[in-house]
Amino acid sequence: MTAKLAAMHGLAIKKFGTPAAIAAVLGADDAEIAKALGEAVAAGEVIAARGAFMLTPAGQAALAADYRGRFADLRGNAAFVAAYGRFEALNSELKQLMTDWQTLEVAGETLPNDHSNKEHDDRAIDRLGDLQERAEAVLSAMAAALPRLARYRHRLDAALAKAEEGAIEFVSGAKIDSYHTVWFELHEDLLRLLGRKRNE
Amino acid sequence: MRICCVSWAVSAMSKSDRLIVAVLDGGLLPDRALVGGKAWSIAHMRALGLPVPPALVITTEACRVYHQCGGELPAGLFDKLMESLAYLERETGRRFGGASRPLLVSVRSGAAVSMPGMMDTVLNLGINDEAERALAAELGNPGFARDTHRRFCEMFARIVLRGGPGDLDPSATPLQWRQCIAATCGRTIPDDPYEQLRLTVKSVFESWNGRRARRYRQHHGIPDDLGTAVTVQAMVFGNADDRSGTGVIFSRNPLSGANTPYGEYLPRAQGEDVVSGTANPHPLNRLTTDMPEVHRELLEAAATLERENGDVQDIEFTVERGRLFLLQSRAAKRSPAAAARIAIEMVAEGRLSRLEALSRLSAEQVRMLLRPYLVASEVEGAQILARGEAACPGAGVGLVVADADAAERAASTGESVILARPTTSPEDVHGMIAASGVITEQGGSTSHAAVVSRALGVPCVVGCGAGALAQLVGRTVTVDGGHGVVYAGALRVEHPRENDSPNLMRLAEWAAAHSPMRVYREGEAAPAPMVDLDTVPGGGVPERLGTILAGVRGAKGRVLASDAGIHAAVGAGLDFVVVPHVLPALLAAVAATRGADQSRVSEDKHGRHGQ
């Protein structure tokens, strides 16, 4: 992938991204991403606003056209596609886990979790750690074909570690790199690589 | 407590007699550091004279020795374990590995401090083909015996063998289950119950050194040689006959907070039947006619445990042939309304000080009580535009927009918008942050849209159906996220006031007496000029408030609606803040003074040192 298209792919996942945020997703250098985005702006594929960037319709189209050729091998890689199948199974589990984390069953009624019950929260974080161990195996299998994906393993683990240390907003917080935020980005990344449609 | 000591031939250690296995018979209350939290709780209940299934504990000392020996269970431990199992056999009249009346046990890990990554519970250990036949004959219920066998195989494979096929086919035979597990795990489930137990104990000790447990200990400064204990407890059978069953009792109503025990009971059932929701339990008072003695004993136990533990209890119990057993007692989950009522009533009853009561209710719980809601009379005649699944409760009113960019643009001009999407992807998150409500066409209550909305506290309805939302773009609607309905027009939304609730007013009065700064409600006269944080660059970021508020006496602004904002204000030494609702700010301020932002850590440390 050219530096420009790589940066645009990162931007597709981290919309309204700053070069630093995109570099963190891709495991690249901030300055190189900023330079690549500058080229994309000149080509009319990206627009800049308040220090962040966003793809234009032309940029989206250029990216989609690029994916088809660039990831043809990956899409035909049986081991990668099989690992992706295991990821989808974990994804269903993750979404249920996040829902359990965000809700509290009190005598048969489902209430929003106000985080007043430590045992409930500890249990959910423990389950998340168990899921992370299985996700790591899947990510290692996928990283064998595309090494960049190993980044997600570390980002997910970093969010888990913060949650375990007591910063519980790192489970599902929407404005930070929480476990759910990173997972959501990973899912989007995989859907784009494989040319799949999100079903919900 | 009857103790078993054993001599160790471990050259590295000078002490020769070490307590490695103990029977929890209600005698001397054991040292929590030695037996772990779960065994301590069982011993405590027995010491109170409460009926608990008999149990033994393999101590944290055994765990230390296990790791010092390089991961080998010394033969001495197992001999002592078998002696202590004989106590469980005498108490239950059953035999571990017996061909009639077999004893099945649960095996749980338990350190003095709970930590992530420790081995989960294995239930029904001790079952094999022979025990299954014996149990089937004894209970006259071959289906249950088979099901118990299957659940054990699933748990053992997942937890001890660290793998396995997940769910086993209920119609297959135990031999087929074992073959299936051997094929996926590379190891098989032993038939010999003692071997099952040995592997499980090893697995608990190994989990002590798992990556997550080590990381947790390192972060919290917990010594690596603290060790975990293993609790082994007899299983009881709530499906033995018509005078058997299982249920749960709360010492007070966890939804309303009323000081009346509340619970459910399912006759002729095991705990799993209640959890899986395959049967409809009866209200607890059914026991008053079926087994009045048990009912009375249960109410007394609930009252005792609430008094002893100083908080509302949620107690799991089983009745076996008319005899009550308490399986677990813990602080009950409760609704925010119940939390407020219980805190106040326990002060009135002299069970809590006012300051303690304030720690039983969080700012977040009060915010939930004060969340705007739809007025029922308005909803009745309103036109329904779409229906879906309720994903995040709350009422949101606004103009429907079709994409995240439009949502953000409109919201930046002060317009209230509802974001309507077929599904949501990470690209939509910035629009969801800006919106007053989110509605989607596809996906259920666990979809990403639902998860993100709940994280943001934005009312959300998901799964309204393909093509259901496009026609709503440009219209003003009201989203009822608690019931999964989208109404036409702007329905009236009621904003609850603290002044209308005597409970909240009283708590605010108590909190004000302990708060390090004064908190004024908007519209009340504040004593001095103040900084409006909404107009200061960086005034919405709690981490930056320290600098912004240096030398300032008072402040207002949206950031003060969060715990982090109030903590920053307290940290900056403000004299006062002005906020829409005073109680959440007061509770957060009181919590800041006791360092409740680190409560999770300090609670654990307290648990460890306070034995």
Closest chain B residue by Cα to residue A12: B427
Residue contact A178–B427, C-beta within 8 A:
no
Q: How many residues does chain B have?
A: 611
Residue contact A172–B451, C-beta within 8 A:
yes
pLDDT, residue B19, reads 86
pLDDT, residue B227, reads 95
DSSP codes, B402-433: SSHHHHHHHHHTT--EEEEESS--GGGHHHHH
Chain B residues in contact with A96 by the CB 8 A cut-off are 446
User: Which candidate, B548, B550, B549, B545, places its Cα nearest to that of B562?
Assistant: B545
Q: How many residues does chain A have?
A: 200
pLDDT tens digits, B61-87? 999 999 998 998 877 898 999 999 999
Distant-in-sequence, close-in-space partners of B293: CB < 8 Å, separation ≥ 6:
B322
Residue contact A15–B219, C-beta within 8 A:
no
Calculate the CA B442 to chain-centre distance. Answer: 30
Q: Does A129 touch chain B (CB under 8 A)?
A: yes
Q: What order of strands is seen across the sheet that includes strand B17-23?
A: B2-7, B17-23, B55-58, B229-234, B105-110, B122-125
Q: Does A49 touch chain B (CB under 8 A)?
A: no
Residue ranges of alpha helices (H) inside B500-556 are 502-514, 545-548
Residue ranges of alpha helices (H) inside chain A are 3-13, 19-26, 30-42, 57-70, 72-75, 78-102, 118-143, 150-164, 169-172, 179-194
Distance (Å, whole) CA A157 – CA A136: 9
- Residue B7 or residue B94, greater confidence: B94
**Cβ pair B75, B200 in contact under 8 A:** no
The percentage of residues in chain B with a pLDDT greater than 90, rounded to a whole number, is 80
pLDDT, residue B28, reads 78
pLDDT, residue A128, reads 97
3-state secondary structure of B559: helix
pLDDT over 70 at B607, yes or no = no
Sign of dihedral through CA atoms B40, B46, B52, B53? positive
Cα B323–B325–B329 angle (5° rounding)?
Answer: 155
pLDDT tens digits, B97-111? 989 999 999 999 999
pLDDT over 70 at B268, yes or no = yes
pLDDT tens digits, B516-534? 999 999 988 888 889 999 9
Q: What tokens appear for B595 in the block?
A: 């360092």
Chain B residues in contact with A172 by the CB 8 A cut-off are 451, 454-455
Q: What's the pLDDT band for B274 if we cut at 50, 70, 90? A: low
Distance (Å, whole) CA B313 – CA B307: 9
The shortest C-alpha distance from A84 to chain B (Å) reads: 18
Residue contact A184–B448, C-beta within 8 A:
yes
pLDDT, residue B43, reads 94
User: Which candidate, B125, B131, B121, places its Cα nearest to that of B81?
Assistant: B125
pLDDT over 60 at B318, yes or no = yes
Q: What is the largest CA-CA distance in chain A?
A: 60
Closest chain A residue by Cα to residue B428: A15
pLDDT tens digits, B291-308? 999 999 999 999 999 999
Residue contact A198–B423, C-beta within 8 A:
yes
pLDDT, residue A194, reads 94
Per-residue pLDDT tens digits of chain A, which is 200 residues long: 588 999 999 999 887 888 999 998 888 899 999 999 999 999 999 998 878 898 999 999 999 899 988 899 999 999 999 999 999 999 999 999 999 999 999 988 999 999 999 999 999 999 999 999 999 999 999 999 999 999 999 999 999 999 999 999 999 999 999 999 999 999 999 999 999 988 76
Closest chain B residue by Cα to residue A105: B333
pLDDT, residue B608, reads 33
Distance (Å, whole) CA A22 – CA A9: 9
The shortest C-alpha distance from B427 to chain A (Å) reads: 5
Distance (Å, whole) CA B601 – CA A165: 8
pTM over 0.80? The answer is yes
pLDDT over 80 at B18, yes or no = no
Going by DSSP bridges, is the β-strand pair B437-440/B460-462 parallel, antiparallel, or unpaired?
parallel
Q: What b-and-e string marks burial along B305-332, b requiring 16 or more CB atoms within 10 Å of the CB?
A: bbeeeebbbbbbbbbbeebbbbbbbbbb
DSSP codes, B237-274: -TTSSTT-EEEEEESS-TTT--SS-EEEEEES--HHHH
User: How much is the mean pLDDT over chain B?
Assistant: 90
User: Which candidate, B227, B222, B328, places its Cα nearest to that of B274?
Assistant: B328
pLDDT over 60 at B7, yes or no = no
pLDDT, residue A198, reads 80
Q: What are phi and psi of B154, to 5 degrees?
A: -60, -45
pLDDT, residue B349, reads 97
Contacts across the A-B interface (CB distance below 8 Å): 132
pLDDT over 60 at B404, yes or no = yes
The shortest C-alpha distance from A165 to chain B (Å) reads: 7
Chain B residues in contact with A168 by the CB 8 A cut-off are 600
Cα distances (angstroms) measured from residue B35 to each of A135, B194, B509, B519: 34, 21, 43, 46
Residue contact B446–A115, C-beta within 8 A:
no
Calculate the CA A47 to chain-centre distance. Answer: 22
pLDDT, residue B526, reads 81
Option in B262, B334, B450 nearest A99 (CB): B450
Chain B residues in contact with A18 by the CB 8 A cut-off are none
Chain A residues in contact with B450 by the CB 8 A cut-off are 99
**Cβ pair B421, B449 in contact under 8 A:** yes
